[in-house]
Structure 1
Amino acid sequence: MSTNKNEYLKKVLDTHDINKVEDLSKFIEKKNKVKDALNKKFSDQKASNSIDSGSYAKNTAINTKFDIDCCIPFKKKTPGNNDEKGFESLSEMFDEVYKYLKNEYTKEDGDISKDNVRKQKVSIGLKFDIDGEEFDMDVVPGRERPNNNDYNDSNTDLSLYINPSNRSKKEEDEGKTRIKTNIKTHIGLLNGADRTHERKVTKLLKVWKTERKKKNGGKLIKSFMMELYTKEAFDNTDEIPNGLWEKTRLVMIHIIDNIETSNLVDPANSSNIVSDSMSETAKTQTKRDMKNTIKDVEDDSDKIKEYFPINEEFDNEDDSNSNSSSKASVLSTSKFG
């Protein structure tokens, strides 16, 4: 008997629901503790309180890999003006947050050691051990732009520092050390009731990517790119198809048609070509794997189970109790990149 693709994908989404994670409340509590500590430490320099970011804030997280991250916006100090608070230099801003988290915060929090605070590309990575469960969190320092005291409800643009040791080859060749972004714009891309289907497809593509990497390794499409391509595919089609599989197929075809030939632009920064962050090899592998997925599933509906596996940890089909949150979770909060 062939698999009902749409009903099956509903089950995939259900078993990957982040709210089924037993320790989710502990991770959120830890995230809030970090935010409060940053707000207190940098009370004079911050442009606003720390804000949520990452896939959890976007409501596109799945429970096998997800982000519970934060961004702290800082004031921009005008050079030579000692009356202003904030940071003149982006590298100073980045290093001060890193030094605080590594040397001071770890003394206050028994769930993390100095060795588990690390510099990443635009963030500081934290790895906690909370009652035996690993929890990864990124703290992104950003500075208001263009000038001092310009961060407000109508202007939330930020400059991020690019850590030199994590720059791409293109960034290194161009001597790039900063990037403009807008966390709130990114969070709003797939937000709202009218973007429910886009969020579902994004989650399914994350399940697909996780399984492809698990089986084949290599580098595949970044999560942020999947979000942008999903939005593009839905916005550019004349008619949204019915059914989860047809919607997912629509986006995959859009990615296949564009990933190697078209620039994908950051909606928060028109000069940032997001697709440049992927190597040509990664683009080619993503395109090939998506084409194979569509062909195999269209030829044999049962193949959908291989490309979009359910999370068996939360599959309660044969469990009379069917309380998924009572189970301990197999959890990785490693980032999608």
Structure 2
Amino acid sequence: MRYIGSKTRILDFINDTVSQTYGSVNGAVVADLFAGTCSVAELFKKQNAQIITNDYLHFSYALQIAKIKCNEEPQSKIPYCEALSYLNGLDGVDGFFFKEYTLEGTSTSQYSRNYFDSENARKIDAICVQLASWLRDKTISEDMFYLLSASLVDAITKVSNTSGTYGAFLKIDDQRKYKPLKLLPYQFIDNGQVNEAYCMDISELIDKISGDILYLDPPYNGRQYPPYYHILETAVLYDEPAIYGITGRRPYQELLSPFCMKDKALPAMINIVQRAKFKDIYISYSTDGIMDYKELCDALSVVGDVKCFFKPYRRYKSNNGGENTTTKVKEIMIYVKKR
């Protein structure tokens, strides 16, 4: 899944930094509280750490259940693979996704939107309706609901007519738009631990958990995540939100993150680190982030001993002339050993 700020390509750097400064994470309690698509949490789960994940977006929570909380298929009246087969065989219905996110559904609306092929949108609607019905009548457990929703999220990313996020759709159809939507099963990782997943604001969760290692991967810039992943959020919630504009975004004013605001990011991060009940804290950041990393390190030195580790990293960027370039920046792992 293409995701803003994904750490998939620098997992070795993260792993090496933790190995050098902490050692083996086998049996340690590791928290990843900006979990996103869970790539870092998965890294440590495979090393048999007990994992705590969190993200305030519901589609991320679905991925947390599938990848982190579940060591095996959750108990439910209908087995996972049987449920997937049933969902894949559903006939489509004219629901929210068809009416709001296809050319056919929006043909008489103020805005014409082209996120999905009409057949795939109808299939998404049918799956969302069925999942809600199963959850309501307790045919599936809550964990099974989110596990199946995670399969739906993955399937949607493979047939969306977008460049990777959902801030806009493509004007010219990408061929992936016409691929038939299909839900695929997850392969579970069993780390032999009781793992936890949360969908909360980090400032509300931080006082309620504790452990050995805290990994923090806050946003680097002013791009708020909700508008870029609103389609995936609606697929999990299926709440028919009052969308607006050409992109059909969900309202997100109540979800604005201080970590995306230049004047609020630094005090918000210091507050989290100060309150954290973890001795070893790792913060992923970048030399072109909205927080000056040197100021961040100076502020963190009040609560612990600070070390920085750097890795050159090529980031795709559009310049003002319209030409696409790659800008070389440095990824940083800031390690704080709290006193």
State TM-score, norm by structure 2. 0.27
Q: Which has the higher contact order (CA 8 A, sep 6+)?
A: 1
- Structure with the largest fraction of helix: 1
